[in-house]
Chains A and B, each alone.
Chain A
Amino acid sequence: MNLLVKLNAAFLCAFALAMALTVLLNQAKFGDILRGLDDSRVSVVTLDTSRRLRQAVDLGLPLKDIAESRSMVDSLIEEYPELQSVSIFDADGVLVAHGGQALRTGEEAAPDDWLEDNRAAGGEVWRRESPESFVVGGPIVNNFGKLEGGVAVRYGKARYSRIVSGLADELLESALGLFIAASALAVLGTAAVLQRLISTARRLTAAVEGLLADTMDADADESIPSEFSAYRESVRKTAAALEAAERDRT
C-alpha cells in the first residue's frame, strides 16, 4: 500500500472518531438540557395543580369531591397540547379526574409505580420514564401531613426525540463536510511533506532496477543517498566480474 494511503487511512480514522465524539457529546448534552427544561416546565404545571388542589383539601374536602378537578385537568390539556395526559388520583390510586390519552391500566386507577413514587416523594416532585413518555408527578398532602393523593402529568418522548435527532442530523451533516475538508487538507499536506521522500524512493527504485541493465545514471541526482555510490559500484564491479568469468569459460 502506498505510504500516503497508509498514513492518511490512520488519520481519517482518528478524524472520524474525534468528530463522532464531538457530535455525540453535543447531542447528549443538548438532550440533557432539553429534558431538564421540559421536565422543569411540566413540574411547574404539576406543582401548581397539586397546590391548588391542596387548598381545597386543607379546607377539609375529600379529593374526590372537589368539583374543580375536572375543569383543571381539561384546561391543562387544552392549554398545553404537548401533554399526553393529566391525572388526579387519590391515596389508593383511584383516578379522580383524568384527561388526555387513556392510561394503560384503564381509566379507573393510576399505575402502581406512580403510587410508589408518589408515596416516596416526601411532598416533592417525582419523575418517571416509560418507553413512550416522561411522567412528572406531585403528591397532594394536607395540612396535617396526610397523603391525600397526587397529580401526574405525562408528556410524549416523540417531540423530545424529534428535536434531539434533528440536532444530530444537522451536526452530522456539518461534521461530514468538515471531515471531508479536514481530510483533504491532511491528504494534501502529507503529500506535500512526503513528496520528496516518495519521489526519492521512486528514483531509487528505478536506479536499482536499472543497475544490472546499466541503464541509469544517478550521479546527477543529489537526493540519492551517499551509500548508493558504493552500493552501485560494488554491484557493477561484481556484475562485470561475473560476466568476465562467464566469458572466460566460454
Chain B
Amino acid sequence: MSAGSPRRTPTLASLGLRVGIIAGGALIVANAVLAWIALGAVERRLEPVVEEKARVLARSVANDLTTAVRLNIPLEGLRGVGPYLEGVLADHPETAYIAVRDEEDRVLYSAAAEGHDIPQVREAADGSGGESGDESGQQEAGFQFVHALTRDGAQVGAVSIGVDPRFVRDTMGSIFADIGISLFVAVLIILELTLLVLSLAVVRSVGLMEGLMRSVGRGDFSVAVVTRGRDDLSRVLEAMNRINAEINNRFRAVASRTTAPVLDRLRQGRVFAERGQLRPVQDLRAGDVQYPMFFFIFGVELSRSFFPLFVRDLYDPSLGIDPSIAIALPMSVWVVAMLVTTPLCLGAIRRWGVRETLLIGMAPTSIGLIATAYAGGFIELIAWRCVTAAGFGLVTATILVRLAMTAPARRRALNLGVFVTAAGGGSVCGTAIGGILAERLGYQNTFLVGAVIVFVAMAIAVGFLSPGEGAGSDAETPSRESERGSLRIYVSPRFITFMGLSALPSRIVLAGFLFFLVPLYLDSLGFGGAAIGRTMMIYFLVLLIMNQAAALIADRFQSHGALILTGGVSSAIGCVLFVSTADVLPLVVAIALIGLGQSLVMTPQVAVLPAYFRRETDEFGSGAVTAAFRVVERGGSIIGPLVAGVVVAATGLAEAGRLIGYGVLATTLLLTVLMLSGVLRQRAG
C-alpha cells in the first residue's frame, strides 16, 4: 500500500522485523527464565543425592583404611594413600577434595580437584555428629562429610570429603548449548512464520488490492481477486469484488435495455465483464514456495547429523559389504533416486500444476521417512530411502521450476536466492534440532518428527499455492536431438578437466566428507547426537551467510577463478584440520572452513562456465553447459560417499579424512597451474 501521505504504511520487512523482535524477544526471555528456574530446581533435587553419595564414598575410603588402623599401623606410616585418593577423586567428579587427617586434625594425605583447597575440618563442619562418628555440614565452599577412623572406640583420625558446589551447575551447563540451539532454531522458525503469515495475509492482499485499485482506476471493471480466509485485508478485497460485481450487474442490466450509442458512451475508457466472467488478478510470488520449501527441507534434514550412525546400526554383515561402504551406499542411492524423478517434474507440472506436483513429491517423502524409521534391515532401508529421495527430487526440481516461472530473466538470480535461503535455513534448523531430538527421543522418533514437519510443509503448500497453477503451461523440455548433441560436451578435455579438478572434489567434500565422514568421526570421539548436530550446523550457517556474499564479491571484482581456488584450499585445510584434532573449537573451525570453502566455490563455479567454455556455450547453449555441469555435480554426490567409504575401509576414519583433504588440495593446485598457464582462462565476450 504505497501512500500519498507523510505517514507511510509499513513494508513487509519493517513489519516483519518489528513483529519478529516482539515474538522472538518474548520467547527468548521466557526460555531464559525457564532455564534459570530449571537450574535451581535441579540443584535443589540433586543436593541430597550428591551428599548421600559423599557419605557413602567417605565410608568406603574409611573402610579401606580401617584394616590398617585395626592392625595398629600408624596412619602417617601408610604408603600409597595419596595416589589412592587421587584415583578416588578422578572416579567421582562431584568430589572437590578428599583428606585423611590424624586425631589432631592435621592433614596427612589429600587430593583436591583444581581450584579447591582443603579446609580445617573442625572449623568448617558445623553439622551433626552421628552414632558412627559421622559428621556433616554445609560450608562456604560446599557440603562436607567427615567419617571418623576409630580404634577400640577412640578416634585416631578422620576421612573428610568435600562436595564441589559447582558440580550440578557445571554438569547442567552442557545442556545450555542445546537450549541455546533450540532457541536459535525457534527464533528462526518464528521469523519464517512471521514472514509467512505477513506474506500470505498482508503482502499478497496489499498487492492484489493495489492491482485491483489501479485496474478500476483505469476504468477496468472486468477484474476480480480470489480471496482466501476472512482476515481484515481479505474483507477489503471482498468489498472491492462486490463493487465490481455490482457495477457489472448494473452495466448488464442497462445493456439489455438500451441503445448501442449509449452503450458505446459507457464503454468509452471503461472495460466491463460483458460476458459475466470476471478476470482474476494474478499475483505469483517467489516467496510462495519459500515457506513450504523451508519446512520440507527442515523435516528431511532432521536425520542429517545421525544418518550414517543409523545406517551403521542396521548394517548386516551377511551381505558381504564392508561396513564403511555399506554406510555410504544409502547416501549414494539417494542421489540416484533423485536423478530419476527430477526430469519428471516438468511433465507433472504441465499435467497437474505446481501445487499438485509438490504434494505428489512430498507424500512419498513423508511416507519414506516414516518407513525408514521402522526399517528392519539394510535392504529395506535402501528401498525406503529411494522412495524418500524420489519425492525429494521431484519437490526440489518443482520449486526451482516455479521460481523460474515467477521471475523475469533479470531476477532469476534473486529468485534462486529464495531457494538457497529456504534450503539453507531448513538445513540449519534440521541438522541442529535433529541431533538434539535423536539424542533424547532416539533415531526412530526423530524420523517420525521429520515426517510430521513434511506434512506441515504440505499444509502450507496447500494454503499458499493455487490449485492447478502452471498446469498446461509450455515449460520447455529439451528435444532428444539437442540432448544427443549436448552429450558431446563431455568429450571436451577442458570441460572434463575443470569438472574433475573443481566440481567433483567439492561434491566429494560435501557428500563424502561432511555428510558421511563427519558424523562417524565425531561419534568415534564420543560426541553425542546433539553435539554432532551442533557441529554440522556450523557448515550450513556459514554457507547461508557466505553464499550471497561470495556471489556479490565474485560479481563485483570479477574474481570467480580466485574464489574457486581459495574455496578449494579452505575446504582442504578444513578436512585435514578436522581429522587432526579432538577438541571442540578446532573441530568447529574446521567445519566453518569447509562451509566457507563450499560457499566460495558454489556460485562462481556456475558463473564461470560461459566464460571458461565459450566455444561449448556457443555450440550447445549455456543451458546445456550448465546442465552438463549439474550432471557431473550429481555424479560427484553419488560417488562422494562411496569414495569416502572405500578409503575409510582401507585406512580408517582419520586417515581417510586426511587423504580427502590432501586430494582436494592437490586438485586445487593443479587447477591453479592450469589457470595460470592459460589452459583454463576467462575469455571475454
- A residues apposed to B, CB below 8 Å: 1-3, 6-7, 10-11, 14-15, 17-19, 21-26, 28-30, 33-34, 37-38, 40-41, 44-45, 47-48, 52, 163, 166-167, 170-171, 174-175, 178-179, 181-183, 185-186, 189-190, 193-194, 196-198, 200-202, 204-205, 208-209, 211-212, 222-223, 225-231, 233-235, 238-239, 241-242, 245-246, 248-249
Among B18, B30, B168, contact of A193 (Cβ-Cβ < 8 Å):
B18
**Chain B residues numbered 243-282 whose CB sits less than 8 Å from any CB in chain A:** 243, 246-247, 250-251, 253-254, 257-258, 262, 265-266, 270
Residues of A within 8 A of B242 (CB): 209
Roughly how many angstroms separate A25 CA and B6 CA in the complex, as a whole number?
Answer: 50
Give 3 closest A-B pairs by Cβ, nearest first: A226-B4, A230-B217, A189-B22
- Give min CB distance, B62 to chain A, whole Å: 10
Roughly how many angstroms separate A198 CA and B546 CA in the complex, as a whole number?
Answer: 38
- Is B133 in the interface zone, CB < 8 Å from A? no
Instruction: Assess whether A208 is in contact with B30, with CB atoms less than 8 Å apart.
Output: no
Grouping DSSP codes into helix (H, G, I), strand (E, B) and loop, the B interface class, with mixed when no group exceeds half, is: helix
Among A11, A25, A242, contact of B254 (Cβ-Cβ < 8 Å):
A242
Instruction: Assess whether A198 is in contact with B31, with CB atoms less than 8 Å apart.
Output: no
Residues of B within 8 A of A171 (CB): 34, 37-38, 41
**Which of B50-58, B640-648, B668-676 is near enough to bind chain A?**
B50-58
Instruction: Assess whether A33 is in contact with B171, with CB atoms less than 8 Å apart.
Output: yes
Roughly how many angstroms separate A34 CA and B18 CA in the complex, as a whole number?
Answer: 43
- CB contact under 8 A between A11 and B60, given known A37-B94, A41-B53: no
Instruction: Assess whether A11 is in contact with B34, with CB atoms less than 8 Å apart.
Output: no
Among A11, A235, A249, contact of B243 (Cβ-Cβ < 8 Å):
A235
Instruction: Assess whether B236 is in contact with A249, with CB atoms less than 8 Å apart.
Output: no
Contact sample, A vs B, 25 pairs, CB 8 Å cutoff = A1-B229, A3-B231, A10-B197, A19-B30, A22-B34, A23-B38, A26-B42, A29-B174, A30-B42, A33-B46, A48-B60, A167-B42, A171-B34, A174-B34, A175-B34, A178-B30, A178-B31, A179-B30, A193-B19, A196-B10, A197-B15, A223-B3, A223-B9, A241-B265, A248-B258
Contact with A along B205-238 (1 / 0, CB 8 A): 0000110111011110100000001111101100
Instruction: Assess whether A248 is in contact with B2, with CB atoms less than 8 Å apart.
Output: no
Roughly how many angstroms separate A10 CA and B214 CA in the complex, as a whole number?
Answer: 33
**Chain B residues numbered 9-35 whose CB sits less than 8 Å from any CB in chain A:** 9-10, 15, 18-19, 22-23, 26-27, 29-31, 33-35
Given contacts A34-B49, A205-B235, 13 further A-B contacts (CB under 8 A): A6-B197, A18-B27, A21-B433, A24-B440, A29-B175, A47-B60, A52-B63, A182-B29, A189-B23, A193-B15, A208-B239, A225-B9, A231-B216
Q: Name the residue among A10, A33, A170 with the largest chain B CB count within 10 angstroms.
A: A33
Roughly how many angstroms separate A222 CA and B6 CA in the complex, as a whole number?
Answer: 8
Instruction: Assess whether A201 is in contact with B193, with CB atoms less than 8 Å apart.
Output: no
Residues of A within 8 A of B45 (CB): 30, 34, 163, 166-167
Instruction: Assess whether B53 is in contact with A40, with CB atoms less than 8 Å apart.
Output: yes
Instruction: Assess whether B31 is in contact with A22, with CB atoms less than 8 Å apart.
Output: yes
Residues of A within 8 A of B179 (CB): 21-22, 25-26
**Which of B182-190, B359-367, B472-480 is near enough to bind chain A?**
B182-190
Grouping DSSP codes into helix (H, G, I), strand (E, B) and loop, the A interface class, with mixed when no group exceeds half, is: helix
Roughly how many angstroms separate A167 CA and B47 CA in the complex, as a whole number?
Answer: 14
Roughly how many angstroms separate A190 CA and B196 CA in the complex, as a whole number?
Answer: 15
Q: Can you name the residue of chain A whose Cβ is closest to the Cβ of B175?
A: A29
Roughly how many angstroms separate A45 CA and B210 CA in the complex, as a whole number?
Answer: 79
Residues of B within 8 A of A18 (CB): 27, 31, 182-183, 186
Task: Give the B interface residue count (CB, 8 A).
Answer: 94
Q: Can you name the residue of chain A whose Cβ is closest to the Cβ of B200?
A: A6
Instruction: Assess whether B243 is in contact with A205, with CB atoms less than 8 Å apart.
Output: no
- CB contact under 8 A between A11 and B23, given known A200-B9, A223-B9: yes
Instruction: Assess whether B57 is in contact with A14, with CB atoms less than 8 Å apart.
Output: no
Roughly how many angstroms separate A183 CA and B26 CA in the complex, as a whole number?
Answer: 8
- CB contact under 8 A between A7 and B197, given known A48-B63, A226-B2: yes
Q: Can you name the residue of chain B whose Cβ is closest to the Cβ of A249?
A: B258
Residues of B within 8 A of A239 (CB): 247, 250
Instruction: Assess whether B23 is in contact with A209, with CB atoms less than 8 Å apart.
Output: no
Q: Can you name the residue of chain B whose Cβ is closest to the Cβ of A248?
A: B262
- Is B410 in the interface zone, CB < 8 Å from A? no
Residues of A within 8 A of B15 (CB): 193-194, 197
Roughly how many angstroms separate A241 CA and B436 CA in the complex, as a whole number?
Answer: 68
Roughly how many angstroms separate A15 CA and B209 CA in the complex, as a whole number?
Answer: 33
- Is B201 in the interface zone, CB < 8 Å from A? yes
Residues of B within 8 A of A15 (CB): 26-27, 30, 186
Residues of B within 8 A of A22 (CB): 31, 34-35, 38, 179, 182-183
- Is B172 in the interface zone, CB < 8 Å from A? yes
**Chain B residues numbered 440-463 whose CB sits less than 8 Å from any CB in chain A:** 440
- Is B5 in the interface zone, CB < 8 Å from A? yes
- Is B416 in the interface zone, CB < 8 Å from A? no
